[in-house]
Amino acid sequence: MSFKVNWKSLETDSLTSWTKDLLTSALNSGKSPNILASSISIKDLNFGKIAPNFEILEIGELGRDRFRGIFKINYEGDFHLTLHTNVQANPLNIYYSNSMEKEIDSQFVTPNFLLSNEQFALPLDLKLSDIKISGIGIIVFSKSKGLTLVFRNDPLDSIKVSSTFDTVQVLANFLQKQIETQIRDLFRETLPTLIHQFSLKYLSLDNNSDDLHAHFASSSRTHSSALDPDNEFNNFTYSSKNLQKNLQLFNTRETLDLHIPKFKGIIQRSHLEKFTQNYPSLLNSLYLNLHEIDMKSYNTYNNNTGSNGIPIDLLINDKNFNRTNRVLKEISDIQSNSFYKQSNNNKDTTVKPKRRRIKYSTRKKAASPTSTLINDDFHMASLHSSVASSMPMSMSSSLSDSEERPQLLAQPRPMRISPDFYQAFLKSTPEQCWYQCKRVGLGTNYFNFATSQPISTSPIKKDPARDFIKEKKSINYIDINKVNNKLKELSMDRSGKRKQRNYGSATYESENPIVAPPPPYSH
Amino acid sequence: MSDTPANKYQITLSDESKERIAKILEYSKTIAHYGFIPFVLYLGWSSTPSKPSLFNLLSPFPSA
Amino acid sequence: MYTYMEYLQKCFYKSTNWNEDNIFSNITASSSAILDFPIPTGFKLDSSNKSTEYSASSFTLSNYHSINGSLAYLYSSVPLRNTMGTKEISLQDALVGFRIIEPSSNNHKQLSSSKRHDRSSLLYGRMYFPGSALEAMIIKRISAHTQLLIKCINNPHMDKNGTMIVYLQKNAPKYSREFIYSTNESLIGFRCLYNLGNSDNSLNTALIPKFDNSVISIGTELWYAARTMSPGLSTAFRYSTRSTSTGKPLTMTLAVNPILGHLSSTYTVKTSVASTFSSRYDFNFFSYASNLSLGFELYNYSRENPVHSFANRSVNLSSEENRFLSHQDRKVRGQHGGNTIPIRSHTSIAQKDHSNMIINPIQNLDNYYHINPTLLPEKKKLLDEVELAAHLSSENSESVTTAFQNLVNESDFASVVKFSTSLNDRMVKILWEGRVKDFLVSTGVKVGMNPVTNAPEFNRFGVSFSYAC
């Protein structure tokens, strides 16, 4: 990452005078050497036209109240600075001053000079120009400790020093050397100290921070007026809502709170797995199996909220009984498939799924066990039970190889159910649940990250889900290739080439604006 | 010019003796440093015919 | 204010007949005492005790940066009998002030008798704590006019510990010469001073009495710091005289540094018994920079003890020459039957004293025991000799000047205020020194103008107490 510095904005009188004051105090701070007969003043200060290059190499830590980064600075501009001071031209005066500050009672061993140590100051103008700087520095910011800036190397490459004594080669060389060491000192000690003190001044004092807050508030007000805060894509304005959500998110990270606030159009790293991994859901499987269902009804379903991963709308709204029947049959098929798959994996024995049976009428005595089973299937699915939540994995595995489905059971035949009954059942269950749980997996969608918005995913490839489980890495692992591939496929899908029908994968299309998946990461 | 005999002398010295001389010089300096004031006191005591007590000599405060 | 050790050193010089005014570095002593007086920093307490006639000790406590102190001991091969504690010392002796330059021929004549101090020596050591840095000084008189002075500081806790400076001084009545070497950057120095216009011939001075009061000295100094190759040079001229009508001494100096083109001229005059005024003008040929400094000192008479007896003072006077002069003054005053000196308080002293003529060597007067040294049998002989010598010189020419000088020496002052300012440096220094109970107190402040903000600020402030007995 690199920055473009608006160098021209530096050429203001206030900044120049401020810098002059700062430099003057910095130059005159501490004990001045005896060769200087007066304090140093700044005669001329010009920032020049060429801006320095500023590049951030690394950000080590980024938090609400702390920041650590490594940056690189390069400067080869036309900045110049002219200093004015008086230098002591009488060497015996320097000797005298040196001798006087050497010991405890220096008067004692310093001879009494009469007039030979009289001071004789010569004015000196010193121009510093052609400064070349290239350095790597570390910025550490912490709310409690302020801002610290340290240079890793010696940033000064070269500097041109010209003075009134340029004709005297010895003096010119001496000055060049002295000033180089002084500027190195400036970068090494004075500048970090100054910046640190300056940052502390803003951090520690409450009234100052209030000023800052006011400043920020005024600036953010202008921003928010320009951008509509209700716009769901406008996540980057500093609205209080967003900040609050951010805070909430931060707190969940710290406290293991299970409730994670949701952000529109933003995928959290911990949920990225859902993109990279092939989570088969009831719905996905259903639509793959019943691909003859027209997309219209599918879309209408998508627009509705509140179901338990069961396409209730499909069942309710559709007037065509045959189709409803088929859907129910399919659901029952998938669920039983999943169940048997799990039991097969475990014990190689077929266990009859235990299902509650509801008898609608005593007249239908002759109903086969399979038909009651279907009814129960239906209920199982709609109940969003804890049983379901415990078996998403087995579900997925069963879906991947449904051909090997045990032939023990006959194809269940769905029963007709009146929609009113179903509605009544829905109402009896807590609403929260309906809202929270939606689509991904069966019951595991508690951690869903985009409830109201469809996740645009491209068809998942044929790889068996079992492999996915085996390969499952840590939750933080991001399979970037997969994400990229999906993006590609998404674009292909949108161009209309939707012919591949892989078992265990789903294809969605919606009228809603498709939220772009996270940008491709580069390794 | 005056340095040359000293240099010659130094060259002939082994490192060990050089070290020893430096040590001796250091010790003598320390002795002179801390021995000077007792020496001044002794001179004052010895030249006084009444030979005052040590406390009298040492005390910078007026004795009652 | 001199420290007690410095005071003892001066007493040593006086009793061994070493004329400090004849040293080149003291050529501007009078003006610098009034213009460049030091201001004490922080709090300082000084307690000194002269345990025997040959040794003394001193303890100093100060808190300039941190609390630190020092312990000093001094040995003199010459018994220092003429010293006084802070209780009874005269302020003129204890403070750095105007120095009346004695014509060297007179000094020489009067005091050359003390041959016994030819090989006298003084040793002084001071240990600072914390840090145990040592400050040592050895003065060894080689002959009557030659002495070796070694000063050194040794700090065991510093890298380049120790600086030593050696002076080889020859101080003859007509001239003085000094060779100096300092280990600090191998500084070599040479100083010399010549007195002009004086002849040893007493007959000559009697014939031309006007010149007898004045001393013309010319001197120069040469320095070379070998390690840093820094040279230094300056020349000075001093003219010191006394007004023939009023007897007030004045000193003019002109010092030149030809390398830097610096010229400094001073004019110092004792305007009355209790006040001195001094001015200095500095000018640089090369840069045309100039500076004018002004300063004065004002003595206040002691109130509680207005009749600090005449005779007692003469005992207390710290040198033989003063003793001689005071005696002379009494004689002069007796002749004139009063005096022309316009100091009211002192006139009253003089008159009172005059009316109560002391006849006995020790006399009780106004609850004081007055000791008249001239009447003491042992001293009488010596003083008669001196008196005789004084008679040889012209009595009239000395009458006014010595009368004034005696007044200065004998006045009992309680305090002094010093003030000095410098126009170019834009600073003001005020110093008050005086006697509080048995202590000598010195307090002062330096106020300077900040060159940047143009606001006055306190540069230095301090109080110093000193007690000695």
For the stretch A75-133, pLDDT in tens is 888 888 888 888 888 888 888 888 887 766 777 888 888 888 888 888 888 888 888 88
The reply to whether B16 falls in a domain is: yes
Amino acid at C436: V
**C352 lies in the same domain as C418:** no
**C105 lies in the same domain as C133:** yes
Place of tokens 């001195």: C276
- Provide the mean pLDDT of chain C: 77
**C401 lies in the same domain as C335:** yes
**C61 lies in the same domain as C163:** yes
What is the pLDDT at residue C104?
A: 58
The reply to whether C455 falls in a domain is: yes
The reply to whether B29 falls in a domain is: yes
**A289 pLDDT more than 60:** yes
Beta carbons of A92 and C264 less than 8 Å apart: no
Q: Indicate the pLDDT class of residue A228, thresholds 50, 70 and 90.
A: very low
Beta carbons of B57 and C125 less than 8 Å apart: no
CA distance A444 to A426: 19
How many residue contacts between A and C have a Cβ separation below 8 Å? 106
Closest to A480 in 3D by CA, of A516, A435, A520, A445:
A520
Q: Which of C354, C388, C407 is the last residue of a domain?
A: C407
Physical contact, B and A (3 or more Cβ pairs within 8 A): no
CA distance C259 to A168: 19
CA distance C253 to C218: 10
| pLDDT tens digits along A327-351 | 788 888 888 877 777 666 655 555 5
CA distance A89 to A37: 9
What is the pLDDT at residue B1?
A: 45
Nearest CA in chain B to C154: B33
Partners for A (CB, 8 Å, 3+ pairs)? C
Exposed, middle or buried by CB within 10 Å (0-12, 13-18, 19+), for C217? buried
Rounded to a whole number of angstroms, the distance from the CA of A109 to the nearest CA of chain C is: 6
Alpha-carbon radius of gyration of chain B: 21
The reply to whether B63 falls in a domain is: no
Rounded to a whole number of angstroms, the distance from the CA of C82 to the nearest CA of chain A is: 25
Number of domains within chain C: 2
**Residue in B39, B40, B60 closest to C49 by CB:** B60
**C163 lies in the same domain as C259:** yes
Rounded to a whole number of angstroms, the distance from the CA of A93 to the nearest CA of chain C is: 9
Structural domain including C388 reads 320-407
Beta carbons of C28 and A120 less than 8 Å apart: no
CA distance C447 to C459: 6
In CATH, what number is assigned to the domain containing residue C201?
A: 2.40.160.10
Closest to A508 in 3D by CA, of A448, A447, A442, A460:
A460
The reply to whether C312 falls in a domain is: no
**C110 vs C246 pLDDT, higher one:** C246
**Residue in B32, B48, B58 closest to C57 by CB:** B58
Place of tokens 């070379």: C224
The reply to whether B33 falls in a domain is: yes
- For A422, what's the count of Cα atoms within 13 Å in the CB-facing half-sphere? 20
**Residue in B30, B37, B52 closest to C125 by CB:** B37
Structural domain including B34 reads 9-57
Q: How does DSSP classify residue A358?
A: -
Beta carbons of B40 and C55 less than 8 Å apart: yes
**C424 pLDDT more than 60:** yes
**C272 lies in the same domain as C354:** no
Cβ–Cβ < 8 Å for C264, C234: no
The reply to whether B4 falls in a domain is: no
Burial A473-507 (b: 16+ CB within 10 A, else e): eeeeebbeebbeebbebbeebeeeeeeeeeebbbb
**Residue in C155, C225, C286 closest to A103 by CB:** C155
**C324 lies in the same domain as C284:** no
CA distance A69 to A349: 60
- Provide the mean pLDDT of chain A: 66
Physical contact, C and B (3 or more Cβ pairs within 8 A): yes
Q: Among B43, B51, B58, B63, pick the best mutation site for testing chain C contact (most C Cβ within 10 A).
A: B43
CA distance C379 to C72: 34
Q: Any idea which of A44-53, A233-242, B4-13, C450-459 has the lowest mean pLDDT?
A: B4-13
**C370 pLDDT more than 60:** no
Number of domains within chain B: 1
Model confidence pTM above 0.80: no
**C218 lies in the same domain as C330:** no
Interface membership of A104 toward C (CB under 8 Å): yes
Rounded to a whole number of angstroms, the distance from the CA of B41 to the nearest CA of chain C is: 7
Q: Indicate the pLDDT class of residue A12, thresholds 50, 70 and 90.
A: confident
Report residue C300 CA to chain centroid gap.
19
The reply to whether B28 falls in a domain is: yes
The reply to whether B62 falls in a domain is: no
| pLDDT tens digits along C70-127 | 999 999 998 888 888 888 888 888 888 888 887 655 554 444 445 566 789 999 999 9
Q: Which two tokens stand for residue C466?
A: 């000193």
Average pLDDT of span C347-362: 43
Greatest Cα-to-Cα distance within chain C, rounded to the nearest angstrom: 68
Q: Which two tokens stand for residue B45?
A: 């005591």
Amino acid at C100: I
**A66 pLDDT more than 50:** yes
For chain A, give the percent of residues with pLDDT over 90: 0
The residues with which C435 forms a beta bridge, in sequence order, are: C440
The residues with which A83 forms a beta bridge, in sequence order, are: A42, A126
Q: Among A31, A92, A93, A102, pick the best mutation site for testing chain C contact (most C Cβ within 10 A).
A: A92
**C352 lies in the same domain as C268:** no
The reply to whether C42 falls in a domain is: yes
**Residue in B29, B40, B56 closest to C125 by CB:** B40
Closest to A144 in 3D by CA, of A203, A61, A57, A91:
A203
Q: Among B29, B40, B45, pick the best mutation site for testing chain C contact (most C Cβ within 10 A).
A: B40
CA distance C304 to C353: 17
Highest mean pLDDT among A354-363, A492-501, C103-112, C221-230: C221-230
Average pLDDT of span A249-261: 77
Interface membership of A103 toward C (CB under 8 Å): yes
**C205 lies in the same domain as C296:** yes
The reply to whether B46 falls in a domain is: yes
| pLDDT tens digits along B15-41 | 889 999 999 998 998 899 999 999 999
**C280 lies in the same domain as C238:** yes
Interface membership of A86 toward C (CB under 8 Å): no
Beta carbons of A115 and C257 less than 8 Å apart: yes
CA distance C9 to A34: 33
Alpha-carbon radius of gyration of chain A: 38
**C459 pLDDT more than 50:** yes
**C354 pLDDT more than 50:** no
**C191 lies in the same domain as C338:** no
| pLDDT tens digits along A386-422 | 444 444 444 444 444 444 444 444 555 555 555 555 5
**Residue in A109, A110, A115 closest to C255 by CB:** A115
Cβ–Cβ < 8 Å for C71, C129: yes
Nearest CA in chain A to C189: A111
Strands C413-422, C368-371: pairing kind: unpaired
Interface membership of A91 toward C (CB under 8 Å): yes
The reply to whether C445 falls in a domain is: yes
Q: Indicate the pLDDT class of residue A44, thresholds 50, 70 and 90.
A: confident
Partners for C (CB, 8 Å, 3+ pairs)? A, B
